[in-house]
Amino acid sequence: MKKQNNRQEYNTTYQLKLPVEISTIIEISDPVYTFCEVMDCIDLRKYLAVKESKTGRKRYNSEILLKVILFAFMEKGYVSLREIEKLCKTDIRFMWLLQDNDPPSHMTIDNFMNETLLGNIEDIFAEINGCIFSKEKVDTEHIYIDGTKIPANAYKYGWVWKKSCVKNRNKTFEKITLLLQEINETVACRCVKFGIRTEYAIEYLEQIAEQYARLFGLHPEKIVRGRGHHKSVEQRNYDKLVEYTNKLKKYAEHIKICGEERNSYSKTDTDATFMRMKKDYMGNDQLLPGYNIQIGICDEYISVFDVKQYASDMDCFQPLMEKFNKTYGKYPKYPVADAGYGSFNNYLYCEEHGMEKYMKFTMFKKETEDSKYRDNPYRAVNFPINENGNPVCPNGKEFTYLYSRPVKGNKYGRTEELYQCEDCTNCPHKEKCCKCEGNRIVRLNEELTGFHKEVLSNLNSVHGALLRMNRSIQAEGAFGTIKWNKSYQRIRRRGLKSVILEIAMISCGFNLHKYHLKSLARQLAA
């Protein structure tokens, strides 16, 4: 007979075994060690100091929360709050960062971001860069600039156009004028007349509506409305006046939100502007709500970033350089950018702040590759200058200076000089010469032409060719890593401040990951 075993087993295959030391389980080459090396160099308390409340639960440790968030962005590129919460419960590296604290909930992380991190993230980004740049001896004299437009988290069809609002507002002014003329005929017997204007202030119309209601004893809350009810003439006029006033309020609000620099905005994210994207997933070249993200790269690290609400890269250059100067206390010696940044005002800005001109202008490619265009003798910029300082056309006729005028559509005060030919009659080059076609007038800007020659000389040199090559590798490569390797192709948050927070955390994660890769490469080489 087989003897029965009465022993009871108290262990399972999933039971933990001693020693339970997390740091011995994590590989020595894991990014978490590089991350802690950088974060230990920074005094985070000055950015995360929060006044504790005397009542309620104790706040979660801010330094640990920040480390958990930044490490998640370092590993994933962009990561949602719920995913960070899940990582804190399942990933052994996040458990090690938590230091025996309970995993934070997604609401705890969200409140920390909105209340504490929103106003300090740019300073934290500068501190992280200061630590990395000092260790890596990063060259901040050369900066490679690029921009991209990323779709916003907004409804694609909820647009508001500023020009349409202005146009409809003017039409409403005309309707109000006709209505006031009709009202004046009604109140003439009472020796009252309301003033008629070309434009009407909302407060003025509200006063007219109030006086009109008082004259005829109208009570807005008792006015008859709906089908089957008859309105008097006075009631109809009062309702129209109130309707037009409300329309003007709506148009004024739309124009105020757009501001001076924007022509549109999205209803679901009022800070987002409609602009054309390179990749239109709707397939019909339609404007989409988005933000213009600008970055400056120094030795493969993001040294400065900016978020703008307008599509033009030309207007983004100067704010980006001012931000760089505020962070590092100086302007870069060699700002390198593509043709979207080369303009007269940006060249003047570089001249004033001691920066070399390495930004392409619009016709740079044609100037360097198309000799027929570059050496065209009929272009005004190629006209020789005589002893009087005036250009001379291919027919030997002198152009005399007329006057200077501001360039149309230029808001920075750029001017151009107009010259007139002394005689174009019977000229064999009349149809080709600057396309004057009988008016004998050409436009020149000698200062801009001089800037273009300097830019061509800089970029066509050996140093300029190396800088152009590095820009395409580093600046465009950084956006390639963020948008494709890390799958960040749409902004998740709404509002300009929240988008800046999002881009700052992505930039911090990008630089930390880049530093880890370089440190790992040095260790392997040794």
Q: Three-state SS string across 290-345, please?
A: EEEEEEEEECCEEEEEEEECCCCCHHHHHHHHHHHHHHHCCCCCEEEECCCCCCHH
Range with the largest mean pLDDT of 55-59, 114-118, 424-428, 438-442? 114-118
**264-278, 386-400, 451-465: least confidently modelled range:** 386-400
Which helix (H) or strand (E) segment is 215 a member of?
Answer: helix 202-216
Residue 410 has pLDDT above 70, yes or no: no
- Please compute the mean of the pLDDT values over residues 96-102 and round it to a whole number: 89
- Please compute the mean of the pLDDT values over residues 207-211 and round it to a whole number: 92
Task: At 365, give phi and psi (nearest 5°).
Answer: -65, -40
Among 88, 162, 429, 181, smallest CA distance to 310 is for 162
* Terminal Cα-to-Cα distance of the chain (whole angstroms): 68
Query: Which of residues 442 and 457 earns the better pLDDT score?
Result: 457
Q: Are strands 358-359 and 334-337 parallel, antiparallel or unpaired?
A: parallel
Could you count the other beta carbons within 10 Å of the beta carbon of residue 457?
11
- Mean pLDDT rounded to a whole number for the chain: 87
Q: Are strands 288-298 and 399-406 parallel, antiparallel or unpaired?
A: unpaired
**350-354, 364-368, 437-441, 454-458: least confidently modelled range:** 437-441
pLDDT-derived band of residue 59, with 50, 70 and 90 as boundaries? confident
Using CA atoms, how far residue 250 sits from 236, 247, 482, in Å, is 21, 5, 39
419: three-class secondary structure by DSSP: strand
* pLDDT recorded at residue 222: 72
Q: Tell me which DSSP letter residue 398 carries.
A: B
Residues 165-179 have pLDDT tens digits of 999 999 999 999 999
Q: Tell me which DSSP letter residue 386 carries.
A: -
Could you count the other beta carbons within 10 Å of the beta carbon of residue 351?
14
Q: What is the DSSP string of 483-522?
A: IIIS---S--S-SHHHHHHHHHHHHHHHHHHHHHHHHHHH
Encoded tokens for 520: 């790992």
Task: List Cβ neighbours of 77 (8 Å cut-off, separation of 6 or more).
Answer: 482, 485, 486, 487, 488, 506, 509, 510
Residue 36 has pLDDT above 50, yes or no: yes
Residue 367 has pLDDT above 60, yes or no: yes
Query: Which of residues 341 and 282 earns the better pLDDT score?
Result: 341
Residue 438 has pLDDT above 50, yes or no: no
Residue 514 has pLDDT above 80, yes or no: yes
- Please compute the mean of the pLDDT values over residues 479-488 and round it to a whole number: 91
CA 438 to CA 421: how far, in whole Å? Answer: 10
Encoded tokens for 503: 């881009």
Using CA atoms, how far residue 338 sits from 102, 301, 326, 359, 462, in Å, is 49, 19, 23, 6, 17
* pLDDT recorded at residue 174: 95
* Residue % of the chain over a pLDDT of 90: 58
- Please compute the mean of the pLDDT values over residues 44-65 and round it to a whole number: 79
